[in-house]
Amino acid sequence: MNKPKLTAKEAIMQIGNLLKMEFTKVEKFNEAKLADGTVVMWDGEIGEGTAIMVVSEDGNQMPAPDAVHELEDGTLVTTVGGLVTSIEAKKEVEAKVEMAEDDTMAKHEERMKAMEDKMAEIETKMNEMFAAYESKFASISESNTAKFAAINAIVEEIAAEPIVVAAKPSNSTFSKKERTMSTIERIAEFKKLSNK
């Protein structure tokens, strides 16, 4: 039985579907500190229209107040009604930004390589599991086939035997004997019937 070869990504997506998970929709909340040490959070990439939440010391979240907030890196974020209306990035030397981008790209490449290795490992394990299950099912199928063949042979043997009908017993301890009537008794019986 030939099964189509799955790619690692397809295998993971099928496993995710079986487990009712969607790996493509993982939400990531980013957080940063303001210059005064207050923690703020937002969903996805920060940009105009992004909702920003202020996290209090006890962990409660509330929309950011209307103001210009300075992040620790110097970025100025203006919010109105808890939504970002403008962002002014800190002015830095472009060389630092390029180096950071190169470092980020190298980290991404390392992560991609690690993920590809992990996917290959998972694919190998899944193939081993499928092979083990196929082997197990094949042995069960062979065992069941042998059992059904044995049952079939027994049934055919029983069917081939002649049908024996039990004979009725001839000597019974209770037998019905006819009563013989004497001639006189017959005449008396005849008279009874004719007098009526």
pLDDT of res. 26: 46
Q: Which of 26-30, 62-66, 93-97 has the highest mean pLDDT?
A: 62-66
DSSP 24: G
Report whether 150 contacts 156 (CB < 8 A): no
pTM, full prediction: 0.34
Counting Cα atoms < 13 Å in the Cβ hemisphere of 10 gives: 4
> CA–CA distance from 58 to each of 39, 70, 87, 107, 159 (Å)?
11, 22, 28, 34, 83
> CA angle, 157 as apex, 155 and 162 as ends, to 5°?
110
Sheet holding 76-80, edge to edge: 67-70, 76-80, 83-88
User: Which residue in the block uniquely carries the two structure tokens 């995710």?
Assistant: 16
What are the tens digits of pLDDT across the range 131-189? Answer: 998 988 888 888 888 888 888 888 888 778 777 776 666 665 555 555 667 788 888 88
